[in-house]
Amino acid sequence: MTPPQHLRHDYPHLQPISTRWHDNDLYGHVNNVTYYSYFDSAVNAYLIERGGLDIHNGEVVAFVVSSSCDYFASIAFPERIEIGLRVARLGNSSVEYQLAVFKQGENEACAAGRFVHVFVDRQSNRPLPIPERLRAALADLLVT
């Protein structure tokens, strides 16, 4: 069975990231768990820059409640990569992202993942509706 293709043009936002020396494991490639930090960095950069998320003083924070990743080809330091980002589902207080890792200039993903954020009140840790500016930024990435 052929794995599904995840192509660059299917992701409306691309976040550039440089691999780091300590990302490589003993096998000479980026360790699988490091991909999750790339995903988290790409999503949060987007939320801060486009959605106005204030990670230090805002009333709203986003918690990852579910995640997964499939791997198709390895990457290693030093490589420049881009994380493709799109939104699969936008709920009242949660959002499901779909992400893909692309080597710079390549059209097929090296890995594809997903994770779910739940937006909560910083003080109570209780879910709350996604604020309008964040919702609008996320809606720009929504795919059907």
Secondary structure letter of residue 139 according to DSSP: H
- The answer to whether residue 12 scores a pLDDT higher than 60 is yes
Q: Which residue has the tokens 């790409």?
A: 42
Q: What are the extents of the domains in the chain?
A: 8-139
Please tell me the CATH superfamily of domain 8-139, with its number: Hotdog Thioesterase (3.10.129.10)
Question: At 2, is the pLDDT very low, low, confident or very high (cuts 50, 70, 90)?
Answer: low
Cβ contact 92:129 at 8 Å: yes
Q: pTM of the full predicted structure? A: 0.93
- The answer to whether residue 108 scores a pLDDT higher than 60 is yes
Question: What is the average pLDDT value for the chain, to the nearest integer?
Answer: 95
Q: What is the Cα–Cα distance from 39 to 23, expressed in whole angstroms? A: 14
